[in-house]
Amino acid sequence: MKVIPKDTISFLRELKLNNNRDWFNKNKQRFNSIQSEVKEFANEVNESLKKSDDIEKLKIFRIYRDLRFSKDKTPYKKNIGMAFHRAKPELRGGYYLEISADESFIAVGFWNPNKEDLLRIRKEIEVDGHEFKSVINHNKIKDVWGEIKGQEVKTSPKGFNADHRHVDLIKKKQFIFIKKLKDEEILDENFRKNLVNYFISIRPFFDYMSEILTTNLDGESIIN
C-alpha cells in the first residue's frame, strides 16, 4: 500500500522559501522521487474509488505555475494537487486532494458548474429546498465534512425571490465541502484508506446531485 513520502511537506515548505529555478533544479531529483511516489499513491486511490464509483479520469496537477497572466512570477506552486473526475454525463461531482506548504485539504462537490447546471440546481432548491438541505445535513456527511461551502452572489439571482426560505442556498455559485488535513494525517500509513472513506462518505450528496442534473423538473431524463 502506497503512502505519501515523508519528505513531501518539508520539500514544499522549503520550496515556498526558495521559489526560484536555481533551488528547484538543485533539488530536482528529490522532487522527481516525491512525484513518482505521489503518482503511485494517486493511482491506488483511483483504483480504490473505482470499486464503488465510476472514475473517468485522474489528474495530477503540474507543479509549474502558469505565469502568462499573473503578477506573481514565482515559477512553482507550493502544493501538489490531484483530482478524481466521475464519469459524465450520468455521474456528477469530483474529488480533490491538495498537499500544501500552507494548509492541506480535501474537497468535493461542484467548483464551477456551467450556467445550465447552476440554474437547474437553483430551480431544484426553489421547488424542494427541504430535500436538498436534508441531504447536505445527512449525519454521514456532516460528521466528516461539516457545512456546505462555496462562493455566493450578493443578492438573489435574477428570476428568484429574495424572500425565498432557501435563498441562502439559491445564492450559491459553488456547492462544495472542504476538510482540512493535518500533516501527521497525510503522512500516516493509513491515509490512503482514510482518504477513500472520506470521499465515499459524500456519495449521498453526489447521487442526489447527479439525479438533479440528469433530469428536468418533471423528473424526465435529459441525457440523450
pLDDT confidence of residue 67: 84
> Which has the closest alpha carbon to 106: 116, 124, 94?
94
Q: Decide: 13 and 77 in contact? Cβ < 8 Å.
A: no
pTM over 0.85: yes
The confidence score (pLDDT) of residue 223 equals 86
Q: List pLDDT tens digits, range 98-139.
A: 999 999 999 999 999 999 999 999 999 999 999 999 999 999
Please, are residues 55 and 87 in contact by the beta-carbon 8 Å criterion? yes
Closest CA to 62 of 86, 84, 85, 79: 79
136-159 burial, b for 16+ CB within 10 Å, e for fewer?
Answer: bebeebeebbeebebeeeeeebee
Write down the pLDDT at residue 68.
86
Q: CA angle, corner 55, sides to 124 and 33, nearest 5?
A: 130
pLDDT tens by residue, 85-95 = 999 999 999 99
Q: 24-55, pLDDT tens digit by residue?
A: 999 999 999 999 999 999 999 999 999 999 99
Q: Could you tell me the fold of the domain covering 8-64+81-213? A: BirA Bifunctional Protein; domain 2 (3.30.930)
Helices (H) and strands (E) in the chain, counts: 9, 5
CA nearest neighbour of 106 among 53, 63, 65, 45? 45
Q: Which pLDDT value is given to residue 134?
A: 96
Residues 6+ apart with CB under 8 A from 42: 58, 60, 82
pLDDT at 2: 85
Domain boundaries, the chain: 8-64+81-213
Digit-coded pLDDT (tens) for 150-197: 999 999 999 999 999 999 999 999 999 999 999 999 999 999 999 999
E-only strand ranges, the chain: 55-60, 79-86, 94-100, 104-110, 175-181
Q: What mean pLDDT comes out for the span 201-220?
A: 95
